[in-house]
Chains A and B, each alone.
Chain A
Amino acid sequence: MSRDEILEPGLRERLARQREQEWRKTLRQAVPARNRLEIPRHKMPEQPPDQRAGNFLEVNLGYSLDIAREEAQRCLDCGDPGCVSGCPVAIDIPTFIKYIEAGEIDLALATIRETNGLPAICGRVCPQEVQCEKHCNLIKARKESVAIGHLERFAADYVRRHDQAVTESACGPATGEKIAIIGSGPAGLTAAADLARLGYQVTIFEGLHLPGGVLTYGIPEFRLPRSILNQEIDFICSLGVEIKTNFLVGRTATLSDLSQAGYRAFFIGTGAGLPSFMNVPGENLSGVCSANEYLTRVNLMKAARFPEYDTPVPVVKKAAVIGGGNVAMDSVRTALRLGAREATIYYRRSRVEMPARVEEVKHAEEEGIKFNFLTVPVRYLGDDKGKLNGIVLQRLTLGEPDASGRRRPVPVPGSEFEVEAELAVVAIGQSPNPLLIRQVDGLNLGRWGNVEVNPSTMATSLEGIYAGGDAVRGGATVILAMGDGRRAARAIDQWLTKC
Chain B
Amino acid sequence: MTRVVLSERLVPNIFHLVVDAPDIARSARPGQFVMVIPDETGERVPINLADWDKNQGTIDLIFMNLGVSTRKLARFKTGDSLQAVVGPLGRPAEIGSFGHVLLVGGCYGLAGLYPLAREFKQKGNKVTFLAEGRDEAFIFWEDKIRKVSDDFQQVLRADCFASGHDLGRIIGQIKEASQELSRVVVMGCSYLLFIVSNITRELNLKTMVNLNPIMIDGTGMCGACRVTVNGQTHFACVDGPEFDGHGVDWTEYFNRRRAFLRQEELALAGYLNKTLD
Q: A286-B259, A310-B68 are in contact. Are A301 and B216 (CB under 8 A)?
A: yes
Residue of B72, B223, B252, B271 touching A292 (CB-CB under 8 A): B223
Residues of A within 8 A of B254 (CB): 386
Nearest CB on B from A140, distance (A): 43
A251 in contact (CB, < 8 A)? yes
Give Cα distance in the complex from A287 to B222, angstroms: 14
Q: A301-B44, A312-B260, A387-B255 are in contact. Are A296 and B23 (CB under 8 A)?
A: no
Residues of B within 8 A of A275 (CB): 221-223
B42 to chain A: closest residue by CB: A310
Residues from 210 to 268 in B contacting A, C-beta threshold 8 Å? 216-217, 219-224, 226, 228, 233, 238, 251-252, 254-256, 258-260, 263-264, 266-267
Residues from 303 to 325 in A contacting B, C-beta threshold 8 Å? 306-312, 314
Nearest CB on A from B182, distance (A): 29
A290 in contact (CB, < 8 A)? yes
Nearest CB on B from A253, distance (A): 6
> Does B222 contact A301, Cβ atoms closer than 8 Å?
no
Give Cα distance in the complex from A275 to B264, angstroms: 26
Render A281-302 as a binary contact track against B, CB cut-off 8 A, 1 for contact: 0011111011011001100011
Render A423-447 as a binary contact track against B, CB cut-off 8 A, 1 for contact: 0000000000111000000000000
Give Cα distance in the complex from A375 to B35, angstroms: 38
Nearest CB on A from B105, distance (A): 24
> Does A251 contact B223, Cβ atoms closer than 8 Å?
no
> Does A285 contact B255, Cβ atoms closer than 8 Å?
yes
Residues of A within 8 A of B271 (CB): 307
Residue of B220, B223, B256 touching A277 (CB-CB under 8 A): B223
> Does A284 contact B228, Cβ atoms closer than 8 Å?
yes
Residue of B42, B69, B89 touching A248 (CB-CB under 8 A): B89
Residues from 244 to 284 in A contacting B, C-beta threshold 8 Å? 245-248, 251-253, 257, 273-275, 277, 279, 283-284
Q: A284-B233, A310-B42 are in contact. Are A251 and B256 (CB under 8 A)?
A: no
B43 in contact (CB, < 8 A)? yes
> Does A386 contact B255, Cβ atoms closer than 8 Å?
yes
A392 in contact (CB, < 8 A)? no
**Consensus secondary structure, chain B interface:** mixed
B5 in contact (CB, < 8 A)? no
Determine, out of B50-58, B80-88, B111-119, B126-134, the stretch whose residues face the partner at the interface: B80-88
Give Cα distance in the complex from A225 to B24, angstroms: 33
A491 in contact (CB, < 8 A)? no
B27 in contact (CB, < 8 A)? yes
> Does B220 contact A297, Cβ atoms closer than 8 Å?
no
**Consensus secondary structure, chain A interface:** loop
> Does A310 contact B43, Cβ atoms closer than 8 Å?
yes
Render A211-243 as a binary contact track against B, CB cut-off 8 A, 1 for contact: 000000100000000000000000000000000
> Does A433 contact B220, Cβ atoms closer than 8 Å?
yes
> Does A209 contact B267, Cβ atoms closer than 8 Å?
no
Give Cα distance in the complex from A290 to B83, angstroms: 26
> Does B219 contact A309, Cβ atoms closer than 8 Å?
no
> Does A293 contact B224, Cβ atoms closer than 8 Å?
yes
Residues of B within 8 A of A307 (CB): 68, 263, 266-267, 270-271
Give Cα distance in the complex from A251 to B69, angstroms: 24
Residue of A217, A247, A248, A312 touching B267 (CB-CB under 8 A): A312
> Does B220 contact A273, Cβ atoms closer than 8 Å?
yes
B179 in contact (CB, < 8 A)? no
B37 in contact (CB, < 8 A)? yes
A119 in contact (CB, < 8 A)? no
Nearest CB on A from B35, distance (A): 8
> Does B23 contact A253, Cβ atoms closer than 8 Å?
yes
Residue of B44, B84, B219 touching A245 (CB-CB under 8 A): B84
> Does B86 contact A293, Cβ atoms closer than 8 Å?
no
Residues from 72 to 128 in B contacting A, C-beta threshold 8 Å? 72, 83-89
Nearest CB on B from A323, distance (A): 15
Residues from 169 to 204 in A contacting B, C-beta threshold 8 Å? none
Residue of A283, A286, A296 touching B217 (CB-CB under 8 A): A296
Q: A251-B27, A277-B233, A290-B223 are in contact. Are A246 and B41 (CB under 8 A)?
A: no
Q: A252-B23, A284-B252 are in contact. Are A209 and B83 (CB under 8 A)?
A: yes
Residues of B within 8 A of A162 (CB): none
Give Cα distance in the complex from A208 to B86, angstroms: 8
| Listed residue (B42, B69, B87, B222) with the most chain A CB atoms within 10 angstroms of its CB | B222
- Beyond A273-B219, A293-B224, A311-B216: 8 further Cβ-contacts under 8 Å? A207-B217, A207-B219, A208-B219, A251-B27, A301-B216, A310-B42, A385-B258, A386-B256
Q: What are 30 A-B contacts with C-beta separation under 8 Å?
A: A208-B217, A209-B83, A247-B86, A251-B89, A273-B220, A275-B221, A277-B233, A279-B233, A284-B233, A286-B255, A286-B258, A293-B216, A301-B43, A306-B263, A309-B42, A309-B43, A310-B41, A310-B43, A310-B69, A310-B72, A310-B267, A311-B43, A311-B44, A312-B263, A386-B252, A386-B254, A433-B219, A433-B220, A434-B220, A435-B220
Which 3 pairs show the lowest CB-CB distances between chains A and B? A386-B255, A286-B259, A312-B263
